[in-house]
Amino acid sequence: MIRRLMFVALSVMGTLSFAAIGYAVDLQELKKEVADGKAVLLDVREEVEWKKAHLSQADLVPLSTIATDKHAKKAIEKYTKDPEMKIYTYCRSGRRSVLAADMFKRVDAKVVAITQSYKDLVEAGFKETKDTDPKLDPPIQMN
């Protein structure tokens, strides 16, 4: 009985986590939309990650800066002025992207979370800007 209850609980949790993740975005279509000025990319990683490398066409809106509805509304308002503009969020793995999109949806902004990884975006041909400042990625001292 307990084994069956655990199976049911795990099944429900798996279904809910899949629903939260969403679906993958067609990266080639997204690339075209961005190039045509029909979409904007929001990098929701933190500033230190942004400084190391980011997609050249993206704007930085760290997840940590949109923790409240007030801050989310302020961060997204300049992107929502054009109702035809599509807004996408991305991060390293897709998880923070989903959280950010949910925060923006709470303030009535239509935002799509890119669930593919940052690496997938670069491999799809999005131009990347890298910072070569060694202070951003200091070497780890090994004993």
Give domain status of residue 137, yes or no: no
Give domain status of residue 42, yes or no: yes
Computed on alpha carbons and rounded to an integer, the radius of gyration of the chain in Å comes to 18
Task: Specify the pLDDT at position 80.
Answer: 95
Task: Specify the pLDDT at position 89.
Answer: 97
Which range marks the domain in which residue 102 is found? 22-125
Give domain status of residue 7, yes or no: no
Tokens encoding 12: 């429900």
Give domain status of residue 110, yes or no: yes
Give domain status of residue 12, yes or no: no
Which residues is 113 bridged to in the sheet?
Answer: 89
Give domain status of residue 111, yes or no: yes
Dmax over CA atoms of the chain, in Å, equals 58
Task: Specify the pLDDT at position 19.
Answer: 39
Closest CA to 79 of 98, 104, 47, 56: 104
Regions of the chain where pLDDT drops below 70: 1-23, 133-143
Distances (CA, A) of 79 to 39, 65, 123, 132: 10, 16, 26, 30
Give domain status of residue 17, yes or no: no
- For 13-110, strand residue ranges (E) read 39-43, 53-55, 58-60, 86-90
Task: Specify the pLDDT at position 14.
Answer: 44
Task: Specify the pLDDT at position 87.
Answer: 97
Q: Count of domains in the chain?
A: 1
Give domain status of residue 41, yes or no: yes
Task: Specify the pLDDT at position 7.
Answer: 43
- Domain of 45: which CATH number? 3.40.250.10
